[in-house]
Amino acid sequence: MIAYALQLNLELGNVNKNTQKVYDILNSKKIKSDSLVLLPEMFSCGFDNENLLEHSKKTPKIYKELQRISKEKNLVIAGTLPEKKKNSIFNMGFIIDNGEITAKRPKIKLFTPIDEHKYFKAGKNSHIDITESSAGNLGFMICFELRFPNISYHLRKKDVEIILVPAQWGKERVEHLKILSRARAIETQSYVIVSDTVGKIGEKELAGHSAIYSPWGDILDIEKNDEGIVSAEIDLNEVYKIRNKIKMEL
């Protein structure tokens, strides 16, 4: 199976332009059928925080189009979108498998230096789980959550095989993104897929460096500073070869 991560420059608040860019890539020959595709965090609008309520109203339509593409190409598609539940907005991770939304879980650790906590409601630790999919056992670590090894530990105990990291990671912390992503792969003996944004979005400079890491911690592919697509062949047998080679008591 091939896994892909999209690295995009987004236009803050421009849902139509951002989503059309994603749809065009997913529909193109660049993405092969029967694959896994990870999209960046909040790819529809970026952190256009003052307008999240309006952006969240467009999320159901985005889900429907991603479901259509997923069904047509037999893709597993994951990412995060703003979603309103009751009176709160969540940064909602989702997994779509062969046309069906099979999992959702809100971002748990909000990044207070950019005031995420003022605009989003945080999920709870009880939301941490894996999702069995046609691409393997998937688990989220959404952007800032990558810094919390207790989350990766919990996913590993639940037999995660691929950790998904949709992100909008600040450029000044790019070395942290690289080190933490690789560390999570090594410590969980899992594939780690990072889909980050790049360039300037509003007033924020993003880190890029979307990548796919092996369960041994090898960099299988990386896109540093430009828009693009990273891809790698994923063999879940490698997960268990590594886990049998170095057994870890959890």
pLDDT at 250 over 80: no
Band (pLDDT 50/70/90 cuts) for residue 170 is very high
Cα–Cα distance for residue pair 205/201, rounded to 1 Å: 6
pLDDT at site 233: 98
Whether CATH 2.60.40.1120 fits 2-245: no
Cα–Cα distance for residue pair 163/147, rounded to 1 Å: 13
Cα–Cα distance for residue pair 148/182, rounded to 1 Å: 14
Cα–Cα distance for residue pair 58/16, rounded to 1 Å: 9
pLDDT tens sequence across 80-138: 999 999 899 999 999 999 999 999 999 999 999 888 999 999 999 888 999 999 999 99
Band (pLDDT 50/70/90 cuts) for residue 203 is confident
Tokens of 157: 């105990």
User: Domain-by-domain residue ranges, the chain?
Assistant: 2-245
Average pLDDT, the chain: 97
Q: What is the rounded average pLDDT of the residues 30-54?
A: 97
pLDDT at site 202: 85
Tell me the pTM: 0.97
pLDDT at site 8: 97
Bridge partners, 101 (sequence order): 96
What is the β-pairing status of strands 210-213 and 191-195? antiparallel
Q: What is the rounded average pLDDT of the residues 160-183?
A: 98
pLDDT at site 188: 98
pLDDT tens sequence across 43-60: 999 999 999 999 999 999
